[in-house]
Chain A
Amino acid sequence: MIGNLLGKLQLLAYIHAQMEENPEPQDHSVSDTMPMYQLKPICGSDIKIDLPACMYKLPNIHAQQGSGCAEHALQVIPYRTVTALRKQLTMLYVTVASNLSLHLSDERKSLTGEQSQCYVRAALGGFHPTLLSLINSQNGDVDPALKALEARQDEILRKLYDLKAAVDGLAKTVTTPDADLDATTLPQSPTGSPFTGTADLDALLGKDVGALRDIVVNANPANPPFSLLVLHGLLCRRYRVLSSVYVHSSVTSVPPQLLSCLGQPPADSYTRDRFQLGFTLIWKDVPTLQMKFSTPSMCPIEGEANVARFLFRLLGAEPRDPVAATRADCWVDVGIQLAEGSAKERAGAVRALNGALSCSPWLLGSELSLADIVCACSLLWAGQADAAPANVKRWLQACRNLGHFDCVYTLLQ
């Protein structure tokens, strides 16, 4: 509160100093008997201030004319306003002085008025000397506009304090562990019926700039990414996807079934701008699978499981509930183990799968999810499908019956 007023004071002091520094003789026809000053504009009137768009915009609390000192500083100050300002300056100084004395007197109830005046003078020692004299001469008689401003400020401060108290209270309730709250009995929010959730492509992939949003996947033909093929199929059902397969010059030859693994291209694939999403699969000599989307703003994503997670998010069927999401991620990691781990790790993973599948038809409950896709594909890639325990076999058959995995089975033959 005081700081604000002091700030305003300093501003006005500066303006006053400017006025003193640049006096220009003017026509004496103006009613005021004081010598005429023409204040050179401190800044030109045609300054366009380009406000950054990313900052917060608060409504201007100094909206009223006459008490908006901040606004005034940037305008060409005509002469009449100068005099008015000078008057206000003096008033302000007086107000500050009186307020200070009031505040001081609030805190130090023992001080006499005179002592507080001394304090005030000391505090205002840096200000313009002529105005300091005003402090003693003029007392009370405060400009009503300033008073209103003060009152508004007080109001705002009071509201702020209230808010702070409320937030503190909330923080306390959140951070303190509630002894009665049992996390394990939190209701498992359903993941929703598969793949009909709304995912805003714009939110996930960035604003649509009128051009095809192309996801580029670089894969090694020795290591075809089965889960991505399944996810591609799912994406095609949800969006209009332009899929294309390319062979990079670093690879000499690719078996023909890999060239057609994304299925037949739609008849109008030559009109790229009619599609919502592009899926470009490039068979290239890369050590690990790599995905590139928007090279200036995104770094490439490596690893089949990570790309699978990205694509699954586009389907909008990711579980919102953090617990379910974590479990899904765990199962995806198990899937990676199945594909890349040692024999022992693989055996352990298969056992874990078996255990989980004994109580539910799918890994995460009653619906197909990313975990199922990744684990099934890893199992098929590792060739362990036939040697799997009963539950796993049943689950694989269920996956197959859904029809999403047909592309994978054609590649396996």
Chain B
Amino acid sequence: MTKEDVKGAAEEEQAQSKKALKKQQKEAEKQAKKAEKQAKMATEQQATDEDDFAKDRYGVSAMVQSQERLGRTLIRVQDLTPEKANQLVWVRARMHTIRAKGKQCFLVLRQQQFNVQALVAVGDRASKQMVKFAANITKESIVDVEAVVQTVEQKIETCTQHDVELHVERIFVISQADARLPLQLEDAVRPDVGVEEEGRATVNQDTRLDNRVIDLRTTTSQAIFRLQSGVCQLFRDTLLQKGFVEIQTPKIISAASEGGANVFTVSYFKTSAYLAQSPQLYKQMCICADFDKVFCIGPGKGRHPLQHHAPPTCGFWELSHFAGRHLLGRLPSCTIRELCIAQVTVHRSSWPDSLESVQEDGGLERPSAVFRAEDSNTHRHLTEFVGLDIEMAFNYHYHEVLDSITDTMVEIFKGLMDRFQTEIQTVCKQYHSEPFKFLEPTLRLEYQEGVAMLRAAGVEMGDEEDLSTPNEKLLGRLVKEKYDTDFYVLDKYPLEVRPFYTMPDPHNPKYSNSYDMFMRGEEILSGAQRVHDAQLLTERASHHGIDLEKIKAYIDSFRYGAPPHAGGGIGLERVTMLYLGLHNIRQTSMFPRDPKRLTP
């Protein structure tokens, strides 16, 4: 080593030791400071502990293990109105937001769709420690609050109960929430419009669906699902009043042979069984069993995603499932044979938009083509949904049934309009949309009129061509412009695009006695007069190239005197979504199932 090097090394060592020294010094300082702080805090604590006169008016309660039955009445937040001014009430709610400011702490307490502002202020009832405690309660914790209801001169815009405020006297935490929440509720309720300008966040759908428990607590979700419950209830009430009988149909059905391309299989003792996708067969059997008017509310299944792909070559209109049989419309016989072997059942309402576009090009060689996992995520399809199905026998004309169904729908809309206005307004705050309009009695247009309207608007289509999704939406807009209604029926569809069990029109063989109902331009119901004559059914099935052996049991059920009947079914989630003007069906399904989602 040269002298310089040695010198350098020495210098380095010196430098190092200097650095080390410095470090040590710093650490020592830190420690000293910390000790000082702690000492200070301890003294402060002691001081404050002595001054806390409100010690028994706040705190974390012991876990409620049903220790004693208190006769305390808790007031609902929605009942906190100026009428209760100056009363001392107990309220159990969640901590929505907390804002501490010196000697005061503002809380917003939330209960389902309603929230109210509460104030903890240092005074003769509350101490500084109590205010501090309130400020440190984690969000979403459930608290019991005893407070005096006070009216406010200036309306509190951010709360639903905007003319009162709670002045807290006692506050106890019943169930504490984790400090870190996966999503913030204010973000979840924020409307999407104008987000970029304000720079505030919203929560994207996947996060919501993964943490559904918290997401469902938002005022909007509460409103949506209460409205959905209302739809179901109104459906049931209206039909029961009309003399319908509610039935429950089996969902586990047998298979005639092995296979299983597009259905959901379940292992059933020593064999496998399949999950029914629609209650069609059983509804019809009930009519043949003289129940006259039946309805059922229950889960329906959508398609099952497949691995095998092939380009589609022929178009579907509707496939309905029967116990162990497959009734398919408009497929070449080879495909049907394949499907029969594969026990394919698909419900029309659960098709992705990709299929619609595929229909433009051609058809279906093997139905599996549609079910590519990556393409099946659409805004209006679920693999599992709640179906509300109706079937009714009629006397002379299927319009008796059609009028019945449209009456029911109108009653549902009216009921929602009358009794669920709060919910509708709450949803509108986050997802703005036009209020739903309808005519009474329901507007009924014929398919030819719809085609004429589309042609006048510049769309080219054949007389017997099926309506594609964009055409349906355009027709919805045209009808809205002319008649100002969001709900209408399109009657007399062309025979070619309907399933084989649809009754043909007696006067014009090209058309059928079938109908579709639309809400805001999207289809919600597909129904028809069913063929109730075994002979005609056989003819129609052969015309469609369906193997008669597979549907023998179905045809047999009409051999013993079947009344003329018709019906249709709607999807609960879709009706709610379209009534509120939402854009994604997952918003109206509590725990949605689609090809990519199985939990929660």
Contacts and interface: CB of A to CB of B under 8 A. Distances in A.
Nearest to A292: B482
B452 A210 contact: yes
Contact of B439 (A214, A282, A295): A282
B413 A249 contact: yes
B478 A212 contact: no
Interface in B134-166: none
A249 B483 contact: no
Contact of B440 (A212, A214, A249, A295): A249
A159 interface: no
A232 interface: no
A17 B498 CA distance: 64
B439 A211 contact: no
Nearest to B413: A249
Interface in A235-276: 246-250, 270-273
A280 interface: yes
Contact of B482 (A211, A272, A295): A295
Contacts of B484: 218, 248, 282, 284
Contacts of A218: 484
A296 interface: yes
A294 B440 CA distance: 22
B409 to A, nearest CB: 12
A9 to B, nearest CB: 45
Contacts, number: 62
B481 interface: yes
Contacts of A271: 507
Given A212-B446, A294-B456, A295-B478, A246 B439 contact: yes
B455 A209 contact: yes
B436 interface: yes
Contacts of B452: 209-211
Nearest to B463: A210
Interface string B426-459: 0000000000111111011110110111011100
Contact of A246 (B440, B446, B451, B507): B440
Main secondary structure of the interface of A (DSSP, over half): loop
B132 interface: no
A209 B453 CA distance: 9
B380 interface: no
Given A211-B449, A216-B483, A248 B437 contact: yes
B437 A246 contact: no
A273 B446 contact: yes
Interface in A278-298: 280, 282, 284, 292, 294-297
A171 B448 CA distance: 50
Contacts of A292: 481-482
A211 B482 CA distance: 15
A271 B61 CA distance: 72
Interface in A284-338: 284, 292, 294-297
Contacts of B399: 270
Interface in B525-559: none
A280 B483 CA distance: 9
Contacts of A272: 444-446, 449
Interface in A114-167: none
Nearest to B482: A295
B397 interface: yes
Contact of B441 (A246, A249, A273): A246
Interface in B468-521: 478, 481-485, 507
B401 to A, nearest CB: 13
Contacts of A214: 449, 482
B247 interface: no
Given A216-B482, A249-B417, A282-B483, 6 more contacts: A209-B452, A211-B448, A211-B452, A249-B440, A272-B446, A284-B484
Interface of B: 397, 399, 413-414, 417, 436-441, 443-446, 448-449, 451-453, 455-457, 478, 481-485, 507
Interface of A: 209-212, 214, 216, 218, 246-250, 270-273, 280, 282, 284, 292, 294-297
